[in-house]
């Protein structure tokens, strides 16, 4: 996954039904990722390795078609390689967390990079938060406290899974800062290609060091292939097509379809029932994500 940027349409083009459908479908495709990670019978980090490696030929074609006439900036290419290290840690932590916590929690905490970047921006600017920013941070903290407390009630393993997903959010924020800088010049497909090429060997090394099965077993290649295509090609492609036509607020609201779908999948496939307190925690974290999204141009594409 890479980052998505919403920029105003300079031509005043109004989004049509196809753009809105692509926005929703892209988020739906990404929301199914955690379910597919569980269906794959490789290790969770190995699933992340295949997720990045398998789409490389398609990404290379898309990057080549969208290339500019200028030669590739080597410094920005190296910046993508550096960002790929953080992206590898992000996916490794997130996939491990997916195996240990509820799917809705995994999606919410995995998307926390937006809130973390908002806080980092305040620290870097050395200024007090606005009312909207303070509200977003407080909502994120309150919602996270509720969800973490509920996970601890369920089991220590679920609580640890939440912590892995929160760590993934931190790593993703560290990935976004250099990746977004390169993306403005190189374009989304080239950045995603370079990041995938640099992150996949690291994920392979982590999977082997952890003793995970790397090759699919009885479940076959289908879950891994669908994960790779839906997360890296379909979801990313639909969002690249649609995001520039919408305001950050609309994009942030659309982002909330991901935890909602993950919660439904968790309920039907894994009997992960939600109580009203869970819903309250998710609403608070979701509100924080929307507020953070409206304060910047960085978005989550998993």
Q: Residue 274: helix, strand or coil by DSSP?
A: coil
Question: What span, in angstroms and rounded, lies between the C-alpha atoms of 44 and 203?
Answer: 10
Q: Which ranges of the chain would DSSP assign to H, the alpha helix?
A: 17-31, 33-39, 44-53, 56-65, 74-100, 103-110, 113-125, 131-154, 156-186, 188-209, 222-228, 235-242, 248-255, 257-270, 276-294
Question: What span, in angstroms and rounded, lies between the C-alpha atoms of 87 and 78?
Answer: 14
Q: Does the pLDDT of residue 258 top 70, yes or no? A: yes
Question: What span, in angstroms and rounded, lies between the C-alpha atoms of 160 and 151?
Answer: 9
Q: Does the pLDDT of residue 7 top 50, yes or no? A: no
Q: Does the pLDDT of residue 9 top 80, yes or no? A: no
What global pTM score does this model have?
0.87
Question: Residues of the chain with pLDDT > 70: what percent?
Answer: 92
Q: Would you state the pLDDT for residue 73?
A: 87
Question: What span, in angstroms and rounded, lies between the C-alpha atoms of 54 and 207?
Answer: 16
Side-chain-side CA neighbours of 200 within 13 Å: the count stands at 19
Q: Residue 284: helix, strand or coil by DSSP?
A: helix
pLDDT in tens, 98-144: 999 999 999 999 988 878 877 877 777 778 888 887 888 899 889 99
Averaged pLDDT, 14-22:
81
Which stretch of 210-214, 260-264, 290-294, 297-301 has the lowest confidence by average pLDDT? Answer: 297-301
Question: What span, in angstroms and rounded, lies between the C-alpha atoms of 178 and 168?
Answer: 16
What does the domain layout of the chain look like in residue ranges? 15-300
């Amino acid at each position: 996954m890479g980052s998505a940027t919403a920029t105003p349409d300079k031509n005043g083009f109004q989004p049509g039904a196809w753009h809105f459908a692509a926005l929703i479908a892209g988020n739906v495709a990404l929301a199914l990722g955690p379910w597919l990670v569980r269906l794959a019978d490789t290790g969770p980090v190995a699933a992340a390795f295949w997720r990045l490696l398998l789409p490389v030929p398609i990404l290379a074609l898309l990057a080549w078609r969208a290339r500019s006439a200028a030669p590739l900036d080597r410094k920005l290419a190296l910046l993508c390689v550096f960002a790929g290290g953080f992206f590898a840690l992000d996916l490794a932590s997130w996939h491990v967390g997916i195996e240990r916590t509820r799917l809705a929690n995994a999606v919410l905490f995995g998307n926390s990079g937006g809130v973390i970047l908002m806080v980092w921006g305040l620290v870097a600017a050395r200024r007090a938060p606005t009312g909207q920013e303070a509200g977003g941070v407080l909502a994120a903290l309150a919602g996270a406290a509720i969800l973490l407390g509920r996970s601890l009630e369920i089991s220590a393993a679920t609580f640890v899974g939440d912590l892995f997903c929160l760590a993934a959010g931190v790593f993703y924020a560290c990935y976004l800062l250099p990746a977004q800088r390169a993306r403005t010049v190189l374009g989304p497909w080239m950045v995603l290609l370079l990041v995938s090429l640099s992150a996949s060997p690291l994920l392979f090394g982590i999977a082997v060091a952890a003793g995970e099965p790397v090759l699919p077993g009885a479940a076959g290649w289908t879950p891994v292939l669908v994960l790779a295509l839906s997360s890296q090609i379909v979801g990313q492609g639909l969002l690249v097509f649609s995001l520039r036509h919408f305001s950050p607020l609309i994009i942030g609201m659309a982002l909330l379809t991901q935890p909602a779908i993950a919660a439904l999948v968790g309920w039907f496939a894994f009997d992960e029932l939600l109580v009203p307190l869970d819903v309250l925690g998710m609403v608070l974290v979701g509100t924080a994500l929307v507020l953070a999204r409206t304060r910047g141009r960085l978005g989550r594409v998993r």
